[in-house]
Amino acid sequence: MDGHFEIVEVSPRDGLQNEKKILTTTQKIELISRAIDAGLTRIEVTSFVNPKRVPQMFDSDELVQNLPKKNGRDIKYIGLVLNEHGFTRALKSDLDIANFAIVASDTFSIKNQGATTSENLKTLKKIFHESNEKIQIAVTIAASFGCPFDGEISSNHLLSIVEQIAKIGLNEICLADTIGVATPKDIKTKLKAIKGCFPEMAIKLHLHNTRNTGIANAWTGIEQGITGLESSFGGSGGCPFAPKATGNIPTEDLLYMLNRSGVTTGISLQKSIETANWLEQQLEKKLPGLLKETDIFPPNQLGES
């Protein structure tokens, strides 16, 4: 693969939002600093949600005000928003990107955001036009490959959502396998369908490893021409509103595969492993990532991926 491949680190948000152990603002800032030190330049740092529903995100506004300085580096801080109120909070912050979630099924969408998919698409259109270039709008289609309540998500249904997003004016989407049900065949089928209808649409993937297919799905996505992947140190993470939802693909495991495959990211594998181990200690639980339990191969390759 030619060129630089983008990894978005989501452990400060998705990696923490479903954990019993609630990290302090100071711990979160250290996690973000460690990500930057490892070479990550796209970091989802928080979500602007009601802390009564997601207590792990109790400090979103304070956290954003105390993010590590960029010191001239091309670093983009991202905040997840689920509604207009969350967007207003993001707009008032110094974040670079507001990532709006559209859930592909109505039942899950209502549980997650209190609104249907169609209603949230209308909200996306409104905030996109209200952003006035003060903040970049990104969009993630959650449950793109399956819903815990409504079951399968067809390619035609997904295409109808992508079509409406394209009409709004967005030229990039992130497809999320929120409950980790996709297989490489599913990834290939839906990416080909979208590329066939919307060849100019850039696509990222946000994958969960709930059923141990996440890394295989990531490689399939790369083969199909995705522009980036979202991952989390140690494989931490999960959705509070999806039953039995478990972690993201581990950043360090992903980097090992990319490094061995000649895909350039500019991210330190060794520092990513160290951060995964650090996060495991902070959360006081075993995280599912595998590379931190063994050695890098060959042993002398400890640099950047």
Residue 244's domain spans which residues? 6-293
Whether residue 131 is contained in a domain is answered as: yes
- Would residue 11 count as lying in a domain? yes
Say whether pLDDT at 129 is over 80: yes
**Locus of tokens 């005000």:** 65
What's the token pair of residue 89?
């909070």
Residue at 255 is within a domain: yes
pLDDT tens digit sequence for 239-294: 777 777 788 999 999 999 999 999 999 999 999 999 999 999 999 999 999 999 99
What is the reported pTM?
0.96
Length of the chain measured in residues? 305
Q: Looking at the 3D structure of the chain, how many domains does it have?
A: 1
Task: Kindly report whether the peptide bond that precedes residue 298 is cis, defined as omega within 30 degrees of 0.
Answer: yes
Cβ-Cβ contacts under 8 Å for 148 (sequence gap 6 or more)? 108, 179, 242, 243, 244, 245
Residue 55: helix, strand or coil by DSSP?
helix
Q: How far lies 65's CA from each of 16, 25, 45, 60, 157, in Å?
A: 19, 11, 11, 9, 39
The pLDDT tens digits for 197-233 are: 999 999 999 999 999 999 999 999 999 999 999 999 9
* Residue carrying the six token digits 């931190």: 292
Do 163 and 194 touch, CB atoms closer than 8 A?
no
Q: What is the pLDDT of residue 3?
A: 56
The CATH number of residue 153's host domain is: 3.20.20.70
Higher pLDDT, 132 or 271: 271
Among 39-48, 80-89, 291-300, the least confident range: 291-300
User: Does residue 304 belong to any structural domain of this protein?
Assistant: no
With contact defined as beta carbons under 8 Å apart, do 122 and 162 qualify? no
Q: Give pLDDT, residue 8.
A: 98
Is the CB of residue 137 less than 8 Å from the CB of residue 166? no
The one catalytic residue among 147, 174, 197, 239: 239
Other beta carbons within 10 angstroms of residue 261's beta carbon come to 11
**At 298, is the pLDDT very low, low, confident or very high (cuts 50, 70, 90)?**
confident
- Higher per-residue pLDDT: 183 or 303: 183
Mean pLDDT for 165-178 is: 97
Query: What is the percentage of the chain residues whose pLDDT exceeds 90?
Result: 90
Sign of CA dihedral 284, 20, 183, 222: negative
Is 239 a residue of the active site?
yes
In the prediction, which pLDDT does 303 show? 59
Quick one: which of 145, 154, 229 has its CA closest to 181?
145
Tell me if residue 304 falls in helix, strand or coil: strand
234 has a pLDDT exceeding 90? yes
What is the residue whose two structure tokens read 């859930």? 103
Confidence of residue 144 (pLDDT cuts 50, 70, 90): very high
Contact in structure between 112 and 94 (CB atoms under 8 Å): no
Task: Give me the pLDDT at residue 282, please.
Answer: 98
pLDDT greater than 60 at residue 25: yes
State the pLDDT at residue 299: 79
Q: What is the pLDDT of residue 207?
A: 98
Q: If we measure between CA atoms, which residue out of 160, 25, 46 comes closest to residue 97? A: 46
> Residue 262: what residue type?
G
**Does residue 302 lie in a domain region?**
no
Nearest by Cα to 282 from 233, 218, 228, 216 = 233
Q: Does residue 31 lie within any of the structural domains?
A: yes
Nearest in space to 232 (alpha carbons), one of 57, 56, 54, 43: 43
Q: Let me know if residue 143 belongs to a domain.
A: yes
Average pLDDT taken over every residue of the chain: 95
β partners of residue 173:
203
Q: Is residue 156 one of the residues assigned to a domain?
A: yes
